[in-house]
Structures are given as C-alpha cells and as structure tokens.
C-alpha cells in the first residue's frame, strides 16, 4: 500500500468497476510430448518439450533420487510454449515410469483434449478497480483487488497487481491479492503471467476514468506518467514510454478518435479506437556460455538455453558477431541440452538479457585472448596492442591506427599452433546496481475496431504495438514477438474462454473447434514499432525483454476501442457479439 488506504472512496470524481477474465489455455500447435530412456539403472535421458532444460534436469534427479549429472535433458527446439513448458507435469513422470518398467525408450504425446487439463492454464480471475482523479486529470487514488484461482493441492500465485503499483503517479495506491483453491488442476504462468490479467482491469479503468473526465485517454496517461518508480522510489534504468506512445498514436491515426462514442462510422459499421499500456520486469539471470574458435575461423557457442520460437539462436549469433567482429555465417550457436553450460529457463522475458550477456562476456574473453596472442607476436606491427587499440572486423584483427596491418583469426591460431581457442564465461547481474534502479520493459498498444450495431460482430481492423525494449538485436524476430503477442491479445479480448460443464467437471471447450484461438481472419495488419534505445544499466548489450509486453495491454486496448465505437463497456472477457446486442 502507498498513502491512504482506499482513498478513492472519499473523492468526488471516481469510478468503481469489476472485471472478469475466464480460464484460458496455452494451445501451442505442438502438443506436449516426451521420450524417456533409462540408459542404466541410475542414468536417465529425456527428449522433452520444456522451456527449462536445467530445471527439468534438477526436478527429475530429485524425483528419482539420482545424481543431477546422470539426467540428460534434450530440448533443442520447442514447437511453441507460452508458459506450459515451465513446469514438469504428470505425463512426463508417467513416461519415465513406463520406460523404467519395460526397460526400453518410451514416447508419450498428449492429445489436444489433454492439453486443456494437464499442462496448466491462465487462471480465472475476478478484479475490482476503484480510481479517483482531479478535474485536470491527476490520479489521486487507485485501489485494485484481485482473486485468482488455484488448485486444492498447490498454491499458484502471479503478479496480477504489479503494474498498478508502479505505472502511474497516484499518491494513494491500495492492492489486495488473494487466491481461491478449487477442485481443478493447477494453473501455470501464461504469457504475460499476472500482468496481462491485471492490465486488463487497470487499463480499462484508466479509460473509464478518462471518459468521466471528458479527457483523451492518451493525454490522461501522459499527465500521470511516472519519471521514477513510485513504489520503490528509485530511478528507472531507462524509460521511453512517452516516445512509444507518440509513435503508436501517429501510426494508428489517433487524431481521428472522437471523445464521444459512436461518432465515427464506416458505412453501417461503428469505428472505435482504444489503447492499453503494458509493462514487465526487465529481468536478467545467471548464465554460462562456452565459445570455441576453430582454426578455420569458425566459432561454436554452446548454452543449455532452449528456443520456444522467438529466435534465440539467431539473436545469440548476432550478439557474438557484433561483439567479436565475425561474420554471422561463421558462427553456430548450439542450445537445448543439459550437457551444455547452464542457463535459466526460457521465460519471464529474460533470455536475451541473460544468455546474451554471457555471449557478450565470452566474445570479450576471446578478444582478450586474441589480443594477447598478437601482442606477443614477432610481427612488430602489433607491438603494444590492446583490445582498445585493435579493431575486430570480418574475422580479422587490425591496428585501429593502421588498418593495413591485420591478421585473420585463423592465421593467429595457426601462428600459435593451436587447433582451437576455447573459453567458458559466466555472466551474472550486478545485484548492487539492480538495487539502485528499477528496471522494466514497456509497451503501448493501439487498436482500431469496427462493430456492426445490428449483429454485434467485431472486427479488429488495425493494430499498432510499440515497445520500449532497449536495443533491438533482430528487428524481424522482435517484430514477430510483438505480432504474436498482439494476436494472443485478440484471442484474450474476443475469442478465448473456457466453459465448464459443472455437472461433470469437464470442459465443453476441449478442442480447437470449440475453444476459439484467433485465426488469420481475426487478425488485421499489425504494425510493430520499437524505440530502440539501449538500457546499458541492465546489461552490456542494452537489451530488455519483449515476450511478455507483446501481449500485456492488448486486451484492454481492444475493449476500450469497442467502447469508443459503441458506448458499451464490457468488463467480462471474451467480448462476444451477444454482449453487444
């Protein structure tokens, strides 16, 4: 809590609303699967769909009471995961038990129906937001309460209220979070865990408050923009949310938006514009990378991190190429095996910041080793060479002051009579630095919708997603992350929701015919824009995470656009035609 508890209740200008999000399921195209093989009585190998190679290795070693090094986990490429691969599930244990029983490798793959009940989900959540503001648009108080579901046998929690605590300048903030145990399977973090749920309520409430004030929602957010973290009273490492807002508003044509709902039309269709802001911690963990420079000038890097689709290997190759001055086609990044140096799970928007920092460290270590070799070379043109006065480019080392004096990496190893040059470097975040700054990624999503007043049909006709995510290593893969998150947000807002048959405790929506994941027809042209300014306080590459902020704020942007088109405020997702007619 910050300031006075429930301070909005005594203010004259206020709103109070309840919001509901149903249970939602991950449903990647690739089903959950595993191959388990006992190579010896105490030696297990699994090929598994997991986002956490080392976490899975540790879990199975503990379960079966065998040494960690005797468990080998292979997850080179994972065909889609939104959080469902962050936990070990009963079907994995079943496969390992079966392999032990028959003393042969056993493969087990879930059916689509089993994906709805056995690998977690976004929990059903009830939220209530009370908010007050002055006539000139300064928020005076926010109270945000949330109840999320969990199972009776595990306590699952998530950061539903985090964005409310730090996003806006309100002097009075009250948050209350509870979980309700039910006779259901355990939820799991789903892309934008907690924050995507919380942002739907908070960003919808912001829109409602702006409407009460007769103020443009963008202007309202800019008035309440925070220049430092109001929760921790710390400066931001970097924050370029205002720039992102300006970029997105210009691209979507925000100036066409009218304050009064239902004023913009396209033939019979009502046109509306909405926005929503997202944030997620700019997380960074500990990782190791092994780098081997071969005598032919090629580089192989290895780390146990996996790739669930965002192009991790591509990003790591680019970071190595940029830091070492080696053409990308000469670099291979091997991943997804517990035999490689350890790395955290791929989740929480932290992989590029975490593993990328280890790649950076390994590249710098190689540069230092190569520098020592050329400086000690009989060739007097490199006498006194240091990393600072050398240029590393296109696989060559040259003196910056006299570029004609240069040697290829391969020639340096040849002169030293070395078949290869190997380094293993660990990168860890600076704990003291992270206590001095508050570190987040930011996004803002703009939606244009059309609603047919007779049928209630909704079409998302344009979307613009803008991110302040530090340095963008690869514009294509980063853009794909943003587009994927926006599509997931369309599903969250308009199509996705579990329906339980309470007579039998089974989901009616148990396949992709009844549970409606967005398809091409549901998704418009989606623009992804990046501020692309580095956060060098966070890590040496200046990156911040994208995966979560890609979806956080999308659902409220669409809901707010529907209100702007129709004047109808729908607070329970998904927003289907029956709720509008």
- The per-residue pLDDT for range 219-230, each reduced to its tens digit, is 999 999 999 999
pTM to 2 decimal places: 0.96
pLDDT of residue 548: 96
Task: Give the pLDDT of residue 555.
Answer: 98
Contacts of 457 (CB under 8 A, 6+ apart): 451, 577
Q: What is the pLDDT of residue 376?
A: 80
Provide the 8-state DSSP code for 342. P
Q: Which of 469, 71, 98 is nearest to 283 (CA)?
A: 469
Q: 246: which 2 tokens?
A: 């300006």
d(CA 412, CA 511): 59
> What are the CA-CA distances from residue 326 to residues 150, 319, 392, 550 (Å)?
49, 10, 8, 31
CATH code for the structural domain at 287-428: 3.30.365.10
Q: State phi, psi for 286 to the nearest 5 degrees.
A: -105, 135
Pick the CATH number of 33-116 from 3.30.365.10, 3.20.20.210, 1.10.357.10, 3.30.70.360: 3.30.365.10
Give φ, ψ of 393 to 5 degrees. -155, 135
In angstroms, rounded to a whole number, what is the distance separating the alpha carbons of residues 288 and 286? 7
Q: Could you give the CA distance from residue 7 to residue 303 in angstroms, rounded to a whole number?
A: 50
pLDDT value, residue 486: 98
Which portions of the chain are predicted below pLDDT 70? 378-379
Mean pLDDT of the chain: 96
CA distance 498 to 397: 59
Other Cβ atoms closer than 10 A to 103: 10
pLDDT at 15: 98
**Catalytic residues, which ones?**
548
Q: State the span(s) of the chain assigned CATH 3.30.365.10.
A: 7-24+121-282+435-579, 33-116, 287-428
The two most distant CA atoms of the chain are separated, in Å, by: 85
CA distance between the termini of the chain:
40
Given this model, what pLDDT does residue 379 score? 65
Architecture of domain 7-24+121-282+435-579: 2-Layer Sandwich (3.30)
Structure tokens at 466: 């803008």
pLDDT tens track for 62-91: 999 999 999 999 998 888 888 999 999 999
Q: Residue 78: its pLDDT value, please?
A: 83
CA distance 488 to 518: 7
pLDDT above 70: percentage of residues in the chain: 99
Q: List, for residues 362-382, the tens digit of each pLDDT value.
A: 999 999 999 999 988 766 788
Nearest to 120 by CA among 80, 90, 163: 90
């Amino acid at each position: 809590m910050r300031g006075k508890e429930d301070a909005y209740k005594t203010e004259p200008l206020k709103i109070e609303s309840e919001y509901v999000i149903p249970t939602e399921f991950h449903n990647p195209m690739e089903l959950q699967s595993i191959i388990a093989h006992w190579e010896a009585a105490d030696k297990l190998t699994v090929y598994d769909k997991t986002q956490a190679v080392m976490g899975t290795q540790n879990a199975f070693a503990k379960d079966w009471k065998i040494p960690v090094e005797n468990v080998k986990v292979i997850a080179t490429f994972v065909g889609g995961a939104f959080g469902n691969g962050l936990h070990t599930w009963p079907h994995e244990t079943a496969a390992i038990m079966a392999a032990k029983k028959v003393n042969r490798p056993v493969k087990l793959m879930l059916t689509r129906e089993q994906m709805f009940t056995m690998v977690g989900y976004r929990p059903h959540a009830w939220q209530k937001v009370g908010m007050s503001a002055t006539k000139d648009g300064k928020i005076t108080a926010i109270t945000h309460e949330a109840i999320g579901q969990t199972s009776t046998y595990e306590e699952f929690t998530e950061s539903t209220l985090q964005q409310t605590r730090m996003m806006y300048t309100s002097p009075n903030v009250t948050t209350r979070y509870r979980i309700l145990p039910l006779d259901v399977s355990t939820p799991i973090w789903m892309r934008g865990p907690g924050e995507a749920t919380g942002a739907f309520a908070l960003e919808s409430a912001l829109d409602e408050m702006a409407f009460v004030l007769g103020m443009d929602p963008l202007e309202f957010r800019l008035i309440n923009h925070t220049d430092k973290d109001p929760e921790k009273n710390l400066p931001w490492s970097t924050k370029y949310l205002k720039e992102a807002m300006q970029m997105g508003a210009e691209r979507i044509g925000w100036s066409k938006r009218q304050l009064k709902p239902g004023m913009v039309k396209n033939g019979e269709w009502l046109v509306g514009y909405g926005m929503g802001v997202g944030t997620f911690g700019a997380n960074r963990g500990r990782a190791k990378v092994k780098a081997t420079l071969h005598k032919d000038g090629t580089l192989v890097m290895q780390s146990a991190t996996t790739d669930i689709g965002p192009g991790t290997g591509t990003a790591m190759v680019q970071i190595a190429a940029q830091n070492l001055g080696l053409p990308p086609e000469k670099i291979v990044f091997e991943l997804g095996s517990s035999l490689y140096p350890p790395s955290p799970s791929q989740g929480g928007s932290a992989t590029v910041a975490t593993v990328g920092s280890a790649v950076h460290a390994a590249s710098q270590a190689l540069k230092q080793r190569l520098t020592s070799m050329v400086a000690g070379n009989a060739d007097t043109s490199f006498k006194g060479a240091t990393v600072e006065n050398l240029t590393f480019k296109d696989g060559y080392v040259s003196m910056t002051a006299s570029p004609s004096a240069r040697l290829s990496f391969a020639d340096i190893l040849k002169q030293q009579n070395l078949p290869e040059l190997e380094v293993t470097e660990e990168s860890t975040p600076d704990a003291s630095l992270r206590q001095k700054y508050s570190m987040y990624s930011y996004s803002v999503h703009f939606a244009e919708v059309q609603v047919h007043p007779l049928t209630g049909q909704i079409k998302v006709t344009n979307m613009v997603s803008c991110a302040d995510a530090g340095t963008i290593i690869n514009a294509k893969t980063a853009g794909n992350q943003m587009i994927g998150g926006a599509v997931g947000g369309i599903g969250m807002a308009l199509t996705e929701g579990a329906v339980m048959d309470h007579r039998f405790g089974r989901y009616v929506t148990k396949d992709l015919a009844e549970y409606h994941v967005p398809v091409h027809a549901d998704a418009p042209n989606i623009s992804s824009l990046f501020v692309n300014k580095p956060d060098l306080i966070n890590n040496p590459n200046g990156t911040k995470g994208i995966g979560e902020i890609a979806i956080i704020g999308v659902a409220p942007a669409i809901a707010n656009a529907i209100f702007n088109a129709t004047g109808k405020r729908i607070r329970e997702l998904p927003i289907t035609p029956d709720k509008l007619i």
